């Protein structure tokens, strides 16, 4: 079975609000160049907008070029989710945020 990846920009704003019942669990996946500080930089941004203790999961590509960092939060509202998407995308070397 293939998992479908849905990006925030692919969902009309009202539809996304209808799909989520806040507060709710929400996972951010940050994909970027594999560099030592990617996990730490991701957590700094997440902590700024969603305080808590997080256990990031990471997966380094087979060639070691890319790293994906997944972090589960409890999202309080749609504005928080949107802000985190925007701010996580600004991290140096990040290619996409899912």
Specify the CATH number for the domain of residue 73: 3.30.70.260
Is residue 91 situated within a structural domain?
Answer: yes
Is residue 11 situated within a structural domain?
Answer: no
pTM: 0.83
Whether the pLDDT of residue 2 is over 80: the answer is: no
Is residue 66 situated within a structural domain?
Answer: yes
Contact 26, 73 (CB under 8 A): yes
pLDDT for 4: 42
pLDDT for 1: 46
pLDDT above 70 covers a percentage of the chain that reads 83
Residue 59: domain span: 23-97
Give the confidence band of 24 by pLDDT, cuts at 50, 70, 90: very high
Is residue 6 situated within a structural domain?
Answer: no
pLDDT above 90 covers a percentage of the chain that reads 79
Whether the pLDDT of residue 6 is over 80: the answer is: no
pLDDT for 10: 59
How many separate domains does the chain show? 1
Q: What is the pLDDT of residues 48-71, one digit of tens each?
A: 999 999 999 999 999 999 999 999
């Amino acid at each position: 079975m293939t998992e479908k990846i849905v990006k925030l920009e692919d969902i009309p704003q009202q539809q996304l609000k209808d799909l989520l019942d806040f507060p709710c669990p929400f996972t951010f996946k940050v994909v970027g160049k594999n560099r030592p500080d990617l996990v730490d930089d991701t957590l700094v941004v997440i902590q700024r907008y969603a305080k808590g203790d997080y256990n990031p999961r990471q997966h380094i590509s087979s060639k070691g070029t890319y790293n994906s960092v997944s972090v589960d939060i409890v999202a309080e509202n749609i504005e928080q989710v949107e802000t985190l998407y925007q701010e996580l995308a600004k991290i140096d070397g990040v290619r996409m945020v899912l």
